[in-house]
Structure 1
Amino acid sequence: MLIVEALHLLLTTEAGTPEAWSQRNVAASAALITDLVIAERVTLSDEKRPRVQVISTQPTGNPVLDGALPLLAERDGKRLDSLVTWHKLDPRDAVVESLVQQGILEYGERTMLGMGAPKTPERNPEPEQMVRQRLAAVLAGERPPDIGDTTVLAILQAMNVAHKVLKEESGGLRAGQLKKRINEVVESSPAGTAVEKAVQAMQVALMTATTTAMMASGGSS
């Protein structure tokens, strides 16, 4: 399962609607770019505000990733913090279709009196349960994190929703304690690889995007 797919399940209710408090599109774009770094299709520059550089447009065979490659090629070299908020990169439709094809989700009734997007309730809850069990074990120190675990935790932390999403998996940790524990997990990952650098850069970019969105919201209220 892609990181962006696991994150989608965590940020969606069992009834198939987005959690009201989540900026799911921004989080999904960040996870998508990380998946593409892992697939060795894009890389990030070493700048303080890194740029996303496409290193190969060779198809991966995964429609979620392959659908994003032409879009990123159009904006090759753009700043990471601008791409995670770029609405055209939001992979929601492709992710949902992939999870439906895998039998994890199913299409349900449409929202907004039949005029909105269809709900996508869980058909098979086991994959999300496995993700949650794995994250719970990582947070408890019972297993080492893999890059998927680290990325999901870093993104949830950066979006300031980790305690809401992982309330049961946190083992009773308060919000501040969970934040400290996630930082320990992320910082304990091996440094130096392109993927690890991407996770760290993604966390900073998301925190910047979230802060900017909050400031904009406050200024318009």
Structure 2
Amino acid sequence: MSTMTIPAELFLLLTNDAGRQDATQFRKPALAAAAVVELTLREKVAIGTERNPKVTVTDASAPEIPELDQALRAIIVLDGKRLKSVISHRSMDLTEVLGDGLAAAGAVERKDGWILTSWPVKDPALETALRSRLAAAIADPSRASLQDAILLELLSAMKIAHLLLREETGGMRRRELDRVVKGLAVDHPAASALRRILDEMNTAIATQAAMMAN
């Protein structure tokens, strides 16, 4: 597993150089989803097999990683709730804890505005290494770790993998990159459940946008 958590790596990818977050309609639940996946990998929580599965706590001891500690504390309170409810709950907003952690690591800096906080890049080394790793995983899937595959699965489910990784993929189109990601065959119940839920969220947003346009 990478020295950074899955949600921390996703935060870097979803934050542009100026410190603004991309994919704003999905960012918070996606970061929460990434934390849920990591907690399942660490055997702290379990996800059921239903279409919209329940999340249950299996080990309440703290991982002692700030973003995972916050997520686990929230899930302890939400124990037994459906995954969609868990990742959209306000207590699962990990933006602050992730931003502060990456600021402490020197990757970004915190800038508090009148309304919003931004996280502009301070040292691009961590994200550069992450992008190189994902590029290698896409070019040669046999080199992909489970963490690489889950990150790419989340970005693909959000329908932004081809945009965020345009340079790393040589301009690969979305469908082509989605096929590569699908070929990674992430055999993990949490990742599969999250893809279904993010797909449903995509459909709901698209439907709402179409209704507003008419």
**8 Å CA contact retained: 1:84, 1:206:** no
1:23: Cα distance to partner?
Answer: 2.1
How far apart, CA to CA, are the structure 2 residues paired with 1:142 and 1:158? 18
Does the 8 A contact of 1:26 with 1:85 survive in 2?
A: yes
User: Taking structure 1 as reference, are residues 210 and 84 closer, same or farther at Cα in structure 2, changes over 3 Å only?
Assistant: farther
What CA distance in whole angstroms lies between the structure 2 residues aligned with 1:31 and 1:89? Answer: 11
The one of 50, 65, 69 aligned to 2:68 = 65
Which sections of structure 1, spanning at least 5 residues, go unmatched? Answer: none
Conserved? CA contact 1:64–1:91, under 8 Å? yes
| Structure 1 residue 179 displacement after superposition | 1.4
1:200 aligns with 2:200: no
Change beyond 3 A, Cα 1:177–1:20: closer
Deviations 1:143-193 (A, max 9, x none): 5211211111111111111111111111332222111111112x1x4x3xx
**Structure 2: gaps (5+ residues):** none
How many equivalent pairs are there?
A: 210
Aligned counterpart, 2:106: 103
- Structure 1 vs Structure 2 CA RMSD: 1.8
- CA drift at 1:203: 1.3
Aligned equivalents of 2:34 and 2:17: distance in 1?
21
Cα distance in 2 for partners of 1:9, 1:15 equals 12
Match in the other structure for 1:147: 146
1:66-88 per-position Cα deviation (integer Å, ceiling 9, x unaligned): 11222111111111122222233
Contact 1:136 1:171 in 2 (8 A): no
Q: TM-score, normalised by structure 2?
A: 0.90
Q: TM-score, normalised by structure 1?
A: 0.88
Q: Tell me the SS of whatever aligns to 1:26.
A: helix
Instruction: Judge conservation of contact 1:135–1:149 (CA < 8 Å) in 2.
Output: yes
Contact 1:51–1:77 under 8 Å retained in 2: yes
